[in-house]
Structure 1
Amino acid sequence: MKVFSWRTLACGLLILCGLLSAAPNILPPSASQSLPQWYTDNTLSLGLDLQGGSHLLLQADLSEVPDQAQLRQDVMAASLEVVRRRLNETGLVEPLVARQGDDAILVQMPGVADPREVRELLGTTAKMTFHWVLMGGEAVAEMTLPTVEGDQYYRLDKAVALEGKHIRDAQLAFNPQTGAAVVNFTLDTDGGREFARMTADNIGRPLAIVLDGRVLTAPVIRSVIAGGSGEISGDFTPQEAGKLALLLRAGALPVPLEVVEERSVGPDLGRDAINMGLTTGLIGFVLVVAFMLVVYRGRGLIACLGLAVNLVLMLGVLSLFRATLTLPGIAGIILTLGMAVDANILINERIREESRRGRSAAMAVKEGFARAYATILDSNLTTLIAVSLLFLMGSGPVKGFAITIGIGLVTSLFTAITLTRLLTEWQIRGRERQPIRWGGSGWLDRLSARVPNVMKGRVVGLIASAVLSLAAVTLYLQPGLKYGIDFTGGTLVEVSAPGLAAESLRSVLPQQASLQEMGVDGHYLVRLPVAAEPAITAEQMEQLKQTIQEQSPAASFPRTELVGPKVSGDFSDLSILAVLLAGSGVLAYLWWRFESHFALAATLTIALDLTKTIGFCVLAGVEFNLTAVAALLALIGYSVNDKVVVFDRVRESLRATPDKPLLTLLNESIAATLTRTVYTSVTTLLALLPMALAGGTAVASFAQPMLFGVVVGTSSSVFIAAPLLYWLAQRRACRGEAQLRLTTEEIRRELAQMP
């Protein structure tokens, strides 16, 4: 009882911590004001797809930087700092600036629906230098540069008279005589001293101020400028002068940056995404709860309580790390809720089996949890292997999806083996010696009891699966997947122009553009193929918006996406690598935990599942983007989860009855896990179904392949994985090898029997 009390206390404290960590997300402002800021700041932040905003990926041109790791690191660190200063100068609310990879900078700007001005600001190097204008035939290295307007050229001394890095401050001002906008600048101490010396030595000579290879102005030095300050004049508008002052204050970029990826979401679309995610998630949760209550009654209520606590713990952990919640993250929470029930179903079915054997309630619970523990651990770890690759190789929302799934798997493991056990032990208190009464589905119980001879159709099942996978591969080759711009590159613009007919819009679009109606009057998706240079693609986007607004002045653009050719190529390579590594990781883990033929059977079956799912994407016209890749990797984890449950029962039966015919043993193992397999699939389908039906285009690429994959993965666990295991086991037996490696206890017994 003492151990039980300590276990109860520890479990209660952990749940309380999770609840307290999640609470700031729902506290009203009046309550938050009376609490410490360190606590109220412990909240989830919304991703750009939920609150609206813009995302830019800037790639640094390091071609002029020597190929030395330390030097390039310094250049990227300096670039990051300049980008951060420029964004802070604009007054944007909490922009996120972070390194991504070796040569890129990620910028996220909440609330900025049109990033055009920011893109121009960050794409300007702003390298300023001062050069003397050559008046005659001076014997120096010279260069010829145009003015900003391009209507005049200057011959300049190539040697830099003064570096722009000495500018300490710059501000917009207006010339008191002419009223023209100018930029007043102040130099640092070294720069002021040098400026005074060079102007004293060059009275009557023009000094050119050069910005990014163009001459801003070239005033004649009339007298010594000793105050460490000066004025940059030109044909500036106040906006242009203000922007120039900002660039000078923030400093020059050490290398040019170009936008290779751009995505923006309007605030209205973000609010719609939140409402959709909450609604479909709530409906999915209610459907899962209703199913568990119908099937398990009182035991189902325990599973539902565990599910609710699991959700609270997930939000608590995410809040603790101040994670960013995205639409794929919401999808991950919904999927996790469906998969979290699996552990409870495994436990319930194991307890039910022990009860059928005549065990008392206490013994049935003890043995049920003991036998289910290894299976739950194996199935969760194999899923984590696939999901961890999403985190390592994904970016942005896809990485958020991986974090959500990973945290959900850990919290569901905790609730299954601690909270569920405590609640179960409380439920049977006072009736430990009595049998547990079970309600539920009689037809599945009767089917399991009759031991269906699934293995009898093993050859037909394998042939049918091979034919379907071959057909899927054929569809992949022709007509092929409908790739999104994540893989093809290019520009996508969502257009909202009520009253604008499709034909009218199509008539003004560029010839290479494609138009897709979204089912709502005046809502369209316009796609442009990738251009040779990302800058040209950005130009295309702006020209496209201008053309549409000329046709319909009230048109708005809730969502825009721009992906350059290099980024799309990287996405393709990383996606293929992630799937291959996920398969290899699962193979290695199962090889270690089971045996080589178990691992090969599971891996081959998963490969067949993936090919069929890709074929479904082709037939259903699902857009194949990074979200679809996330679905494939999640499907690897889900599918291997199913296989592990069946294989774990096979391994258990092999140890208990090694002399039993393998076909009979496989049939009995399938029958013993059939109820769990069906129930888990149903709960996952119920959780995903609302999202697939009403989630919209944003999550369709995830939800639809997952729905199909759940059905395929479940059926393959019964009809494909077991026959493959039988075939591989037969080959192993012919070589005289054992089906399982000896356990530590078996090795100890054999050693004890040796003379």
Structure 2
Amino acid sequence: MKTRFSRALVYGLIILFGLPSALPNVLPDSVLQKLPEWYTQNQLALGLDLRGGSHLLLEVDTSELTANKNPALHEQIVRDAVEQSLEVVRRRLDETGMVEPMITRQGSDSILVQLPGVNDPQHIRELLGTTARMTFHWAANEKSALLGKIISVQGDTPSERYQLEERVALEGKHISDARLAFNQETGEPVVNFKLDNEGARRFGDMTKHNIGRPLAIVLDDRVVTAPVIRSAIQGGSGEISGSFTSASANDLALLLRAGALPAPLKVIEERTVGPDLGSDAISMGISTGIVGALLVLAFMVGIYGRWGFIACVGLAVNIGLSFGVLSLLGATLTLPGIAGFILSIGMAVDANILINERIREETRRGEPAMAALRAGFQRAYSTILDSNVTSLIAISLLFLFGSGPVRGFAVTMAVGLLISMFTAISFTRLVMEWRVEKLGKQPLIISGIKMLDRISENTIPFLRARFFGLVASAVLSLASVFLFFSPGLDYGVDFSGGTVIEVSAPDVGVADLRKSLQQQSTAQLAIQEFGAQGHYLVRMPAQSAEDVANGTSVQAVKTAVLAISPDAKFPRVEMVGPRVSGDFGDATILAIILAGLGMLGYLWIRFESHFALAATLTLALDLTKTIGFFALAGVEFNLTAVAALLALIGYSVNDKVVVFDRIRENLRLTPNKPLVQLLNESITSTLTRTVFTSVTTFLALLPMAMGGGNAVASFSLPMLFGIVIGTSSSILIAAPILLLLGERRIRKGKTQLRDSAEVAQRELDLLP
């Protein structure tokens, strides 16, 4: 075993390295300006839901490029088109002077664009939605039919048509620069362009031999202008005139400089958050997080006294290190991420509770202080490992199948849980050992709740109510299934598709708003009063992919509102197309199934098949009841709700692992004891830990549920319900199912634990 000094040195270095990494997140700007740039940049980035901005998911439409191509070539074409589109999108946004746009590939054929500070992305939509493929074509004449096919191309209006040679005279890719200018004679906005060397040579030759002939400049299958060539143009430059405004001419110049897209980009999802809403979310997250943490700390100190205070110090180190690690990783903090961090605080205390309760058991057996401390930590190792791994399985799936803010939830929870294992097993143990040495020959006394201690001294026959528990659970789950179909879930736009617009118009009544919207829009609209007076949610049902791509329905609503309230604001816009909502639904089902299978496989390996099956069946019952809660309470089922479901999977199995771990330990010590008695004793001995862990997690989330509002209601409310359901099912459902399956094994002459499970347990018990 390493010396205490060497451990203190290693742990101290970890903390001294980790905590300063978190400091730039809380230091004032006046201090940050005096520090090195490499250090001050080590901060958590705020997601768009916290700082405001727009999120656009663009689909690269490669249908024309891949027509009649074999699968291998099809994949290569799509890959190349997406990569080229990424570069063009990046250049176009850079040309606008936008600050810190984030452009990343998502999936096989989509591009995610995040635009901080952009509250109305309509102009960006137009810039990114324009392919900007420019070509030069000669106007058709009597010789054109002999040279090739003649095409008819639209001009400024649908009735204006140009007869042009299909043959491309010059590709727009030869344009090396383009700028807004003004015609010296008319003063009208124009676009001056320059060609590269090859383009200049070809342009000079073609104009030299076609004097007096119109040359059409075609942009995305539309003639912008068709000037008559009066003389040879040898300078490698030219002018594009047309019915331009300064803004449209500047946009065209930008598009030409950035280059053409290889395929059209279509918006399939849009989300916008105003800066005020983002700042409110930050304030809410910080305040509810602080209150939740204080409630947990007060509970721990109130229950365990000085030993609870040591756990609180470890928890404070855990929080600091978690922020430090997230900063080093360059993670983005989102509103669901804050919720995940608050939940991880509640779950991090679980390890300390397990350790303290194990130490108390050893003390009651008469063990000396240091021996009780070491035995308590050793016996808690396997339970802490198993419970955290099961939670991480669910969280990892959430990261794989989630997107955006939901991934932020997964990252913060995973980092929090991993660091909690270090602080509980390593740091807290070191401090407790130091404190025990100070006691000398005094006994190690960790206080608790005397009433629970008295209850735990006598075995409670929980399994006498096993048939009632199973029947009641089955009835409630069956009722939840009926609620799922009628009245059903209140699906958010993430799953149902459609549009949600939050409107802030304090001087407008709901009747006037409805009348104006009905006059401007033919779409079916639902208007709901929301929050403070003058705040409304306008909902539109699922729209076609074309409606989502052009965003006209959102613009129509904004126009109607601004017509009766010029000062109106739109704090939030969410628009999800049919493809995205379908993908979300498929990914959610797959993530939940894989989470269940992951738990089943891990528990099968670590325990035995009937342990794994009992936990999985109980988990299915817990999930159905939680779905019923969504339907009965009318809580919106959205991506945040999926985060809650997967977090509940981890939490529920976590709770059952603690009970199962004690059952496994008792089976190894007294394998011949009647199974009913052994299960009752195991449940009773872990009752204090079960109650305390549930209370701390409940307290951590309670402020968010009470003060978080609608933004986090889909996470916090189901989590509170799930904590109660998950805790009670460990005793009333999982244990009875395990008893039935265990008795079946006895009748078949099988043992309750296989040798590999016992060996794995012994190996963990030998850890320092």
Kept after mapping to 1: 8 A contact 2:368/2:444: yes
What one-letter code is carried by the residue in structure 2 that aligns with 1:157? E
- Once the two structures are superposed, what CA deviation does each residue of 1:374-411 show, in whole Å capped at 9, x if it has no partner? 10000000100000001111110001110011101100
Q: How far is the alpha carbon of 1:127 from its aligned partner?
A: 0.5
Q: How far is the alpha carbon of 1:738 from its aligned partner?
A: 0.9
Kept after mapping to 1: 8 A contact 2:605/2:757: no
Distance 1:5 1:311 in 2: 24
Name the stretch that deviates more: 523-532 or 336-345.
523-532
SS at structure 2 position matched to 1:478? helix
1:528 maps to 2:545: no
> Pairwise mapping of residues 437-586 of structure 1 onto structure 2 (< 5 A)?
437-510=445-518, 512-535=524-547, 538-586=551-599
SS at structure 2 position matched to 1:545? helix
1:119 corresponds to which of 125, 128, 146: 125
1:130 corresponding residue in structure 2: 136
SS at structure 2 position matched to 1:509? helix
1:591 maps to 2:624: no
> Pairwise mapping of residues 139-150 of structure 1 onto structure 2 (< 5 A)?
139=145, 140-150=148-158
Kept after mapping to 2: 8 A contact 1:642/1:714: yes
2:175 corresponding residue in structure 1: 167
Name the stretch that deviates more: 441-450 or 659-668.
441-450
Name the stretch that deviates more: 2-11 or 655-664.
2-11
2:51 corresponding residue in structure 1: 51
1:74 maps to 2:80: yes
SS at structure 2 position matched to 1:421? helix
SS at structure 1 position matched to 2:191? strand
1:202 maps to 2:210: yes
Name the stretch that deviates more: 58-67 or 635-644.
58-67
Kept after mapping to 2: 8 A contact 1:362/1:433: no
Q: How far is the alpha carbon of 1:664 from its aligned partner?
A: 0.4
SS at structure 2 position matched to 1:659? coil
Provide TM-score, normalisation by structure 2.
0.96
What one-letter code is carried by the residue in structure 2 that aligns with 1:136? E
Distance 2:488 2:756 in 1: 48
1:738 corresponds to which of 751, 763, 766: 751
Unaligned ranges ≥5, structure 2: 763-768
- Once the two structures are superposed, what CA deviation does each residue of 1:470-528 show, in whole Å capped at 9, x if it has no partner? 00000001110000000011110001010211222222334611111113100011100
Name the stretch that deviates more: 723-732 or 30-39.
30-39
> Pairwise mapping of residues 294-333 of structure 1 onto structure 2 (< 5 A)?
294-333=302-341
Distance 1:310 1:378 in 2: 20
1:651 maps to 2:659: no
2:707 corresponds to which of 687, 694, 706: 694
Name the stretch that deviates more: 731-740 or 633-642.
731-740
Distance 2:219 2:440 in 1: 84
Kept after mapping to 2: 8 A contact 1:534/1:565: no
2:31 corresponding residue in structure 1: 31
Q: How far is the alpha carbon of 1:29 from its aligned partner?
A: 2.4
Kept after mapping to 2: 8 A contact 1:493/1:527: yes
User: How many equivalent residue pairs?
Assistant: 748
Q: How far is the alpha carbon of 1:580 from its aligned partner?
A: 0.3
Kept after mapping to 1: 8 A contact 2:608/2:757: no
1:368 maps to 2:379: no
SS at structure 2 position matched to 1:429? helix
Q: How far is the alpha carbon of 1:132 from its aligned partner?
A: 0.5
Q: How far is the alpha carbon of 1:536 from its aligned partner?
A: 5.0
Residues 432 and 717 of structure 1: is their aligned pair in 2 closer, same or farther, counting only changes over 3 Å? Answer: farther
> Pairwise mapping of residues 171-182 of structure 1 onto structure 2 (< 5 A)?
171-182=179-190
Distance 2:144 2:325 in 1: 70
Q: How far is the alpha carbon of 1:218 from its aligned partner?
A: 0.4
2:102 corresponds to which of 96, 100, 111: 96
Kept after mapping to 2: 8 A contact 1:292/1:303: yes
What one-letter code is carried by the residue in structure 1 that aligns with 2:508? L
1:378 corresponding residue in structure 2: 386
Kept after mapping to 2: 8 A contact 1:52/1:110: yes
Q: How far is the alpha carbon of 1:170 from its aligned partner?
A: 0.1
Distance 2:13 2:557 in 1: 57
What one-letter code is carried by the residue in structure 2 that aligns with 1:611? T
Unaligned ranges ≥5, structure 1: 750-755
2:89 corresponding residue in structure 1: 83
1:256 maps to 2:264: yes
1:753 corresponding residue in structure 2: none
2:765 corresponding residue in structure 1: none
Distance 1:81 1:151 in 2: 36
What one-letter code is carried by the residue in structure 1 that aligns with 2:354? L
Kept after mapping to 2: 8 A contact 1:264/1:561: yes
1:752 corresponding residue in structure 2: none
Q: How far is the alpha carbon of 1:449 from its aligned partner?
A: 1.2
Residues 432 and 663 of structure 1: is their aligned pair in 2 closer, same or farther, counting only changes over 3 Å? Answer: farther
Name the stretch that deviates more: 259-268 or 730-739.
730-739
Distance 2:604 2:39 in 1: 45
Q: How far is the alpha carbon of 1:150 from its aligned partner?
A: 2.9
SS at structure 2 position matched to 1:145? strand
1:184 corresponding residue in structure 2: 192
What one-letter code is carried by the residue in structure 1 that aligns with 2:533? D
Distance 1:163 1:256 in 2: 18
Kept after mapping to 2: 8 A contact 1:75/1:254: yes
Q: How far is the alpha carbon of 1:108 from its aligned partner?
A: 0.2
Distance 1:536 1:484 in 2: 16
SS at structure 1 position matched to 2:755? coil
Distance 1:491 1:262 in 2: 9
Kept after mapping to 2: 8 A contact 1:358/1:435: no
SS at structure 1 position matched to 2:190? strand
Distance 2:292 2:438 in 1: 36
Report % sequence identity. 63
1:711 maps to 2:719: no
> Pairwise mapping of residues 427-446 of structure 1 onto structure 2 (< 5 A)?
427-431=435-439, 433-446=441-454
Distance 1:482 1:395 in 2: 21
Distance 2:12 2:459 in 1: 42
SS at structure 2 position matched to 1:720? helix
Distance 2:439 2:342 in 1: 36
Q: How far is the alpha carbon of 1:616 from its aligned partner?
A: 0.5
1:19 corresponding residue in structure 2: 19
Q: How far is the alpha carbon of 1:746 from its aligned partner?
A: 7.2
Distance 2:507 2:757 in 1: 75
Distance 1:216 1:150 in 2: 13
Q: How far is the alpha carbon of 1:135 from its aligned partner?
A: 2.7
SS at structure 1 position matched to 2:613? helix
1:108 corresponding residue in structure 2: 114
Q: How far is the alpha carbon of 1:71 from its aligned partner?
A: 2.6
What one-letter code is carried by the residue in structure 2 that aligns with 1:229? S
Q: How far is the alpha carbon of 1:696 from its aligned partner?
A: 1.2
1:63 corresponding residue in structure 2: 63
Distance 2:757 2:150 in 1: 82
Kept after mapping to 2: 8 A contact 1:259/1:535: no
Distance 2:392 2:759 in 1: 31
Residues 542 and 411 of structure 1: is their aligned pair in 2 closer, same or farther, counting only changes over 3 Å? Answer: same
Distance 1:268 1:212 in 2: 39
Q: How far is the alpha carbon of 1:137 from its aligned partner?
A: 5.8
Q: How far is the alpha carbon of 1:356 from its aligned partner?
A: 0.4
Distance 1:311 1:745 in 2: 35
- Once the two structures are superposed, what CA deviation does each residue of 1:288-333 show, in whole Å capped at 9, x if it has no partner? 0010011000110011111111100110000001111110010011
Distance 1:18 1:746 in 2: 36
SS at structure 1 position matched to 2:439? coil
> Pairwise mapping of residues 594-633 of structure 1 onto structure 2 (< 5 A)?
594-633=607-646
Q: How far is the alpha carbon of 1:714 from its aligned partner?
A: 0.3
What one-letter code is carried by the residue in structure 1 that aligns with 2:84? A
Kept after mapping to 2: 8 A contact 1:360/1:432: no
Kept after mapping to 2: 8 A contact 1:258/1:535: no
Residues 746 and 305 of structure 1: is their aligned pair in 2 closer, same or farther, counting only changes over 3 Å? Answer: closer
Distance 2:583 2:218 in 1: 37
What one-letter code is carried by the residue in structure 1 that aligns with 2:472? A
